Every structure is written in C-alpha cells, then in structure tokens.
Structure 1
Amino acid sequence: MLKPAYAGVLAAGRDQYNARMREAQRRYPMLSHDVFRAFLDNAGAIVDAVAPERVQPVVDSIYDLGLALAGRTLIGPAARSPVLQHAWRTLFPRFATLIAREPVQVLGMLSNAVVHLETVPGTRLTQWMDDMGGLATQVGSVDALRAVGQIAAWRAGAAHFRAGALAAAAGLPAPLALAALHAPDGMQIDALLRQLPGDPWWQGADPHASRTRTFGAFTGFGGPFDAPPMVKPDGDGFLVHAGGRVFFLLADAYGASLQAATLAEFERADPGRVPTMLAHAQACANATTIAITSPFTHAIRLEARS
C-alpha cells in the first residue's frame, strides 16, 4: 500500500497523470497497466525516503520514467531480467537525498546504467549495485554519481571503462575516490592515481581483483569465439582473430571486454611471442600482460606480467 504522501500526490494530480498515461499508450503500444501499477508500488521506498517538500517533483519523475520503462518492456514479466526493478526497490532509495534534488537526472542515470551494464558480457551487476549502495551516503552531486558509477562499473568487470574511471576518480574528493577504488588503508589518492595507469593488474585490498583471468568460450556455449582464438599484442590490449571475426581485447585485474577490430589491424600487428612451458600453447605479451592460447580451447588465459 502506498504511503499517504505518495498516494496524495497521485490522487491530487489524477487528471494530469491520466493524460500522461494516454499519451504514453499512443507512444508505446506494449505498455501494460498492470506492469506500470506494480512499478509505482515498487518505487514507494524512494518516495518514502524523500523530504515532504520534494515528494511532488519526485513522483512526477517516477511517473514519467516508469511509463517509458514499462512501454519499452524494460520492467515487468516481458523484461530481459528483473534486475532493474530490483534496483529501483533496493538501490535507488539509498540515493534519496540526491534524487530529491535532481530526480530526473538521477533516476534516469541510475536506470540507464543498470540497463546498459546488463548488456555488457562479463559484468557483475550485483557487485556494481553493492558498490554503489555502499558509497551512496558520500555521493553529493550528479557529477560525483556519474564518476562513482563509472568506477564501480570498471571494478565490476567492464574493463573498457578503465581509462575513463581513472580520469573520473581524479575529479572526486579524495575520501570518496579512495573508497570507490577500494584503496588500502593509509593510501594517498595522488600516489594511487600515479600507480594505477601503468599497472592494470593492481589489486590493493580489493577482493574482486585477480592477477590472472580466463576469458572466452565457444559461441555454441554462449561465448564470443567460433574457433580457437589467435592473439597478438596491440598497445595496452590484444587483437584476437577467431574464425571470421577480429576483436580488440582489454583485460585487467577486474575483468575483460571485447570490442570490434579489423583483419587488417590483426595482420599488421607484431606477434609479440614469449616463451611458455605449457604444451600445445602459444603465448604473447604486451607491456603488462601475457596472453596464452591453444588450438584445443576457445579460452584465452591472461596473466599479469610481473
């Protein structure tokens, strides 16, 4: 049941809210009344945590965004997963103070982040939500939220966010940056930000970090490679040729990610071979990472070089 403040705003604005619903139904033929009503109930924890004088604009934002989410089947039984609804119920209320100030931006930013990260293979979305919730009381602005979200996404396995996350950390207050990066006690942020760019396998005190990682699988089992991959170093990552496709692979202590590349790039790259003691395996390396492949597996083993 909705609390009186929430229900009162909806009742007082019944005509305008009904008009918004009719407009949304024209725009989104898949919009379900039942899904939308359940969403409004689900968002009650956010409204309950907002100061009374800010309930009206927050409810307006929840209503409009909920119509879009329901209309695009990003919530409800037809959604890809229930994660976004779970985030609205459990994570978003942690940011109630910031939502009260900037409801459209904050609710939109958090929703977009969850929807996007769900589509990034290998990203640990539960970890991202846990990290964000743990930092919520220290996040005092939309800019800080954007920065912390990027850092948490990198730490949750989105390796291609690494450079942007480190740049974002440099713009945060030192205590928040250190907390977001899970720095060891006593570490100074300036020293950490000097060290991290050159050491993608830095672990610090972070239980989610590892100095070895296995990435990839056969497409028939949900992986990205339709043939055992061949690998060449390229800058801070690797070019990967598997079957008829070429990728750029980035990997670090938190995860690995693939982006599209071209056959011409792969053919131009130096093999970068290094010795390996493993039978039937080949190894190559860039400045920080060794990649090991075999004609008998679709996986790539990645290890810190030092």
Structure 2
Amino acid sequence: MISSSFAAILASGRAQFNARAVEARRRFTSLDMQAFGAFLQDGVDPVVQAVAAVAPDRAGSFTLAAYDMALELVGHGLAGPAAKSPFLSIVWRELAPRYAPLLAGAPVDGLGMLSNAAIHLGGVPGARTGQWQEEMAAIAPQVATLGQLRAVGQVLAWRAGVAHFRLGAIAAADTLPPALALAACGESQLDWPALRAQLLNQPWRGNADGIEFGAFAGLGGQFDTPPVARACADGFVVSAGERFYFLVADAHGAVLHGATADEFAQASGDVSATVQAGARQLAPGLPAGEIALAANAHTLAITSPYTHAIRLLPLP
C-alpha cells in the first residue's frame, strides 16, 4: 500500500499521471506496469513522503518528475522487481529521502545524480555499494547544493572501491568546503591541503597490507587462467589466457578494465624473486620461478601459475 500523501497526489492528478503512463508504454513496449506499480510503492513513495514533509508546496511537482523518471527507469529494466540489480531501488527507498530538502528544489537533477550513481556503482564488480549508501546517508545533512552532491558522491564512490576514481575524486573534493571535503574523506586530524597532498602522493594511504584481487572465472571470478601482470604508470596490464585487462588498485580497492595485447607487450614485467623499491630490496619469500613480480612507483603485483589471484602490495 502506498502512503496517504502519495495517494492523494496521484488522485488529484489522475488524468495527467495516466497520460504519462500511456505515453511511456508507447516508448517502452516492454514496460511492465505491474513492475512499475511495485517501484512506485517501494522506491517512489518513500522519497515523495520525505519531500512532502520538508517542502509540502513542492510535493506535487516533485511527484510528477519522480513519476516520469520511474517510468523511464522501469522501462529500461533498471528499476523494479525484475531489474538486474536491486541497488537503484534501494537508493530511492533508503538514500534519496535523506536528501529531500535538496531534491525538493531540483528533482530531475538530484534524482538523476543519485540514480546514475546507483546504476554505475551497481555495475562495478567489487564496489561496496552498501558502504557508499551508508556514507552518503551519514553526510547528507552537510550537503547543500547539487554540485556538492555530485562531488561527495564521487569521493565516496572512490572510497567504496572504485579505484580509478582516485584522481577525479581528489579533484572533486577540491571544489567542496574544506570541512565537507575532510568529512567525505573520513578524515578529521589534518587540514584539507595536507590531506590532499598525502592522497595524491600515497595511493595506499591508510592500507599497509595491500589487497588480493581476482579469482577463477568458473567460480564467479575474473580470470580463466592464472594471470600475469605487467606494470605501467597508472596500474597493471594483465594477461589471462587470450584476454587482456587494465588493473587499477589503491588503498580502497581494485577495478578491472579491458586492455589489448599491444598494451600488455608495451608494459614492463619483472620475473625475478625480488624487487627494488628505492634503496630497499623486497623479497616476498617465495621460490624463484614460481612467482612473477611487477612494480610501478607505488604498487607491487605478485602473480603465480598456481593461483588466479593477484597480490597487490604497497611500496614505500
């Protein structure tokens, strides 16, 4: 059952809402109206209630915008019970109401930002969507503009495992008030210029242990065969069977993109059992010939013919 406030708005504009649904069915021939009804109840109603509570004079116009967007999302199979990922519905139901004061004045842009973020994060393997949602909810009272919403969302996506966002996230944090930038980065001990310098120069800041990435594709992992990594300035080019990938990793996680055989050939590899890091020589303690090492300025990648995982360790 939908709430009385949402039901009242729908009833007062019944003809207008029905016309929008009819037009959407022309544009999206596979639009499932039962699924749409479920998303109205599960996703749209909670945020309509929140907006009606903080800005009752804008509840009607907000509902029109949310209704149109819901039709499109369900029509594209991105929302509703049959969606590939439930995360977008969760964001509408649980996160969007926290931003009701901001969404009331900019429903299309605000809901669009949150929806696009949910769709993107839901499509990144390994991204910690629950962490992003929780941290976005916690910081909501400090976010006053759409620009801040966009920047905070990017910073928190990076911190939730979207490693290739790192430089863009730091640049986005630069646009925020210093206190909000620090909050988005989970930091309270430094000022923003000092933290920014550390984040730029130390991709593994806060994570001295590194991470392990990858598993056998047959068990839901990324690689059909044990991978081999070669280093480049921004990450590693990885070969696994006949496929090639670009791996970006930092303190918060790792993300895999597509790459080519030429990019793998041009990257550098080191098959010795030690690696030089400045004045230090690091030895993982594994037999020579059974591991391969590759290192760039900040990360050591260890692979072996006996595992589908890549061990990524921070370099000093």
TM-score by length of 1: 0.93
Structure 1 residue 79: Cα displacement: 1.2
Cα separation, 2, equivalents of 1:2 and 1:118: 27
Task: Look up the match of 2:202.
Answer: 199
Structure 1 residue 124: Cα displacement: 0.7
- 8 Å CA contact retained: 1:201, 1:211: no
Task: Look up the match of 1:241.
Answer: 239
Tell me whether 1:13 sits opposite 2:13 in the alignment.
yes
> May I ask how many residue pairs the two structures share in their alignment?
300
Tell me whether 1:283 sits opposite 2:284 in the alignment.
no
Structure-to-structure mapping, 1:103-114, within 5 angstroms: 103-114=107-118
Structure 1 residue 132: Cα displacement: 0.6
Task: Look up the match of 1:35.
Answer: 35
Structure 1 residue 4: Cα displacement: 4.3
- SS of the equivalent of 1:271 reads coil
Cα separation, 2, equivalents of 1:262 and 1:21: 45
- SS of the equivalent of 2:231 reads strand
Tell me whether 1:144 sits opposite 2:148 in the alignment.
yes
Deviations 1:113-165, CA, capped at 9 Å, x for gaps: 11111111110111110111111111111111111111111111111111110
Deviations 1:31-57, CA, capped at 9 Å, x for gaps: 222222222223222122221111011
Superposition RMSD in Å: 1.5
- SS of the equivalent of 2:223 reads coil
- 8 Å CA contact retained: 2:38, 2:81: no
Cα separation, 2, equivalents of 1:67 and 1:108: 13
Task: Look up the match of 1:268.
Answer: 266
Task: Look up the match of 1:206.
Answer: none
> Structure 1 pair 126/210, CA: closer, same or farther in 2 (3 Å)?
farther
Report which stretch shifted further, 7-16 or 113-122. Answer: 7-16
- 8 Å CA contact retained: 1:210, 1:254: no
Report which stretch shifted further, 41-50 or 134-143. Answer: 41-50
Cα separation, 2, equivalents of 1:271 and 1:170: 35
Structure 1 residue 266: Cα displacement: 1.6
> Structure 1 pair 210/69, CA: closer, same or farther in 2 (3 Å)?
farther
- 8 Å CA contact retained: 1:239, 1:246: yes
Task: Look up the match of 1:47.
Answer: 48
Tell me whether 1:216 sits opposite 2:209 in the alignment.
no
Cα separation, 2, equivalents of 1:110 and 1:170: 21
- 8 Å CA contact retained: 1:5, 1:52: no
Structure 1 residue 270: Cα displacement: 2.4
Task: Look up the match of 1:179.
Answer: 183
> Structure 1 residue runs of 4+, over 3 Å off?
1-5
- 8 Å CA contact retained: 2:170, 2:196: yes
Structure 1 residue 89: Cα displacement: 1.2
Cα separation, 1, equivalents of 2:198 and 2:90: 36
Task: Look up the match of 1:81.
Answer: 85
Cα separation, 2, equivalents of 1:264 and 1:5: 59
Tell me whether 1:189 sits opposite 2:187 in the alignment.
no
Cα separation, 2, equivalents of 1:253 and 1:290: 13
Q: Which residue identity lines up with residue 57 of structure 2 in the other structure?
A: E
- 8 Å CA contact retained: 1:276, 1:283: no
- 8 Å CA contact retained: 2:151, 2:169: yes
Q: Which residue identity lines up with residue 32 of structure 1 in the other structure?
A: D
Report which stretch shifted further, 29-38 or 151-160. Answer: 29-38
Cα separation, 2, equivalents of 1:4 and 1:123: 37
Cα separation, 2, equivalents of 1:226 and 1:215: 14
Report which stretch shifted further, 89-98 or 263-272. Answer: 263-272
- SS of the equivalent of 2:313 reads strand
Tell me whether 1:156 sits opposite 2:164 in the alignment.
no
Q: Which runs of 5+ in 1 are unaligned?
A: 204-208
- SS of the equivalent of 1:81 reads coil
- SS of the equivalent of 2:147 reads helix
Cα separation, 1, equivalents of 2:98 and 2:33: 27
TM-score by length of 2: 0.91
Structure 1 residue 210: Cα displacement: 6.0
Aligned residues with identical type, % of pairs: 49
Report which stretch shifted further, 41-50 or 130-139. Answer: 41-50
